[in-house]
Structure 1
Amino acid sequence: MRHRILLALTMVLLAGRMAADDGIENIPVHFAPGESSAELTGQVQGHQTVDYVLGARAGQVMTATFAPDSSGAYFNLVPPGSDPTALHKGMLDGDSFAVTLPYDGDYRLRVYLSRGAADNGESAAYTIQVNIAGAPLDGDHPPPAFGPAEWDARGALPCGTDSAAFGGPSCDFKVLRFPGGATFWVLRPDGSTRIIYFDDEAFSSDSAAAVTATRDDDTWTVQIEGPETYLIPDVAIIGDNPY
């Protein structure tokens, strides 16, 4: 298991509350009585994101096929809980999957456009064929409470809305580091998790919204359109002993 370090950050906090609405449209999915599958149809445009929410149990197998009318549209499978690391990433893994589900809870089929297509205001109609089958595992299998079970450091980051004033919330985080980068799981004030990626001196996130970052001395100001703002110091990215 990775060495666990409690990272204490003593910094002023950004003011304002983070918007609870992240712009994602949630659509509950319920199979017809006696059925284990459904066909979902819809359309996304620009930076819109649609989540189809399906309840399932650990040990069951979910299969899904995504058929969009645009090459700029993708879908992910997001597990339940506060860690939205996708079990299937359409951009990397293609338009179909068969996944044995690891947890009990609500899974999300997330439909979105690539950043380029979203920035151009493009749209895509799509169909999803989804099936959940098989017997669940015995007992309860809840998802992890927050972020990964193993991490290199954890602490709190200043976070909030984009504001010139100070004196707002802080956000707990966990970080896993690798040479040249790091992945952050940040617990937002509304209880959801934002994943922020740092690689090759650039930031991105699990959100479809645009990400910008500026550096002042040894601290990055990372802004995700919406707005969300996080202050991330170098020590959180590279640790006390840089690679």
Structure 2
Amino acid sequence: MKRSIAITLATLLACSAVPVNAGDKVTTTPVHFSRGSSSATLSGSFGGYDSVNYTLSARAGQTMRVSISGSSNANFNVFAPGGVPGSATALGSGTVGQDWNGPLPANGTYTVQVYQMRASARRGGKVPYHITFSIR
């Protein structure tokens, strides 16, 4: 009896030491435009609950356009400077075939989070994509 209680306690302790999203990977990639250019296209791939955060600097009053192509499971959110995915409200969002275009409210580093919805993330499939950023 004491042995089964000890095993149960050891199992519970081992499970509680693992964070809930221990397998989720967030990759952060800075976006740089070529000299004289106001846009850039990058490609990537992720799976499951992983996501990619692209960061790019812009000034208040400029207009940003974000478009994504590739897997129909690719989605994105745009966050203002200081906004953190998961705890801030996005300025805008989009998916394949639905670009986002909007004026920027502040100077600083914007974050564009690329992810897939929970239903498809559960299946764990790979999400290849191409994302284009434009600032004018």
- Band the TM-score falls in, shorter-chain normalisation: 0.7 to 0.9
Q: Is the 8 Å Cα contact of residues 75 and 90 (structure 1) preserved in structure 2?
A: yes
Give the equivalent residue in structure 1 for 2:110: 107
Give the equivalent residue in structure 1 for 2:93: 89
Give the aligned length: 113
Q: Which runs of 5+ in 2 are unaligned?
A: 1-16
Give the equivalent residue in structure 1 for 2:36: 34
Q: How has the CA–CA distance of structure 1 residues 82 and 124 changed in structure 2, closer, same or farther, with 3 Å as cutoff?
A: closer
Give the equivalent residue in structure 2 for 1:24: 26
Could you say what secondary structure the match of 1:32 adopts? coil
Deviations 1:181-221 (A, max 9, x none): xxxxxxxxxxxxxxxxxxxxxxxxxxxxxxxxxxxxxxxxx
User: What is the deviation of 1:64?
Assistant: 1.5
Deviations 1:35-55 (A, max 9, x none): 111011111111111011000
Report the RMSD for the aligned CA atoms in angstroms: 2.4
Could you say what secondary structure the match of 2:67 adopts? strand
**What percentage of aligned pairs have identical amino acids?**
39
User: What is the deviation of 1:82?
Assistant: 4.1
- Aligned equivalents of 1:124 and 1:24: distance in 2? 14
Larger relative helix fraction: 2
1:128 aligns with 2:131: yes
Letter in 1 for 2:43: T
User: What is the deviation of 1:28?
Assistant: 0.5
- Aligned equivalents of 2:59 and 2:76: distance in 1? 21
TM value normalised by structure 1: 0.43
Question: Which structure 2 residues correspond to residues 155-194 of structure 1 after superposition, within 5 A?
Answer: none
Q: Is the 8 Å Cα contact of residues 94 and 100 (structure 2) preserved in structure 1?
A: no
Could you say what secondary structure the match of 2:43 adopts? strand
- Aligned equivalents of 1:51 and 1:57: distance in 2? 19
Give the equivalent residue in structure 2 for 1:208: none
Structure 1 segments, 4+ long, off by >4 Å, are none
User: What is the deviation of 1:90?
Assistant: 2.6
Letter in 2 for 1:77: V
Letter in 1 for 2:122: D
Instruction: Determine which structure has greater relative contact order: mean sequence separation of CA pairs < 8 Å that are 6+ residues apart, divided by chain length.
Output: 2
Letter in 2 for 1:78: F
Q: Is the 8 Å Cα contact of residues 78 and 88 (structure 1) preserved in structure 2?
A: yes
- Aligned equivalents of 2:100 and 2:73: distance in 1? 18
